[in-house]
Amino acid sequence: MAEDSASIRSLRSPLGRARGMGSAKGGTRHWWMQRVTSIALLPLSIWLIFSLTRLMGADYVVVLEWIGNTFNAVLLLAFLTAAFHHAAAGLQVVIEDYVRDELKRFAAICAVNGLAVLLWLAASLSVLRIAL
Partner 1 sequence: MARIKDAREAAMVGRRSDGTLTRRPLSPHLQVYDMTQMTSLLSILHRITGVAWSVGLVLLVWWLVAAGTGQSAFATAQWVFGSFLGWVVLFGLTVAAWYHTLAGIRHLFWDAGHGFAMDAAYRSGRLVVIGTAVLTILTWLLILV
Q: Please report, as ranges, the residues that interact with partner 1 according to CB under 8 A.
A: 35, 38-39, 41-42, 45-46, 49-50, 53-54, 56-57, 60, 63-64, 67, 76, 83-84, 87, 90-91, 94, 100, 102, 119, 122-123, 125-127, 129-130
What minimum distance in Å lies between the beta carbon of 107 and partner 1? 17
| Of residues 2 and 61, the one with the C-beta less far from partner 1 | 61
How many other CB atoms sit within 10 Å of the CB of residue 82? 20
The CA distance from 116 to 132, in Å, is 24
What minimum distance in Å lies between the beta carbon of 24 and partner 1? 20
What residue type is assigned to position 11 of the chain? Answer: L
| Of residues 63 and 107, the one with the C-beta less far from partner 1 | 63
> How does 28-59 read in b/e, with b if 16+ C-beta sit within 10 Å?
eeeeeebeebeebbeebeeebeeeeeeeeeee
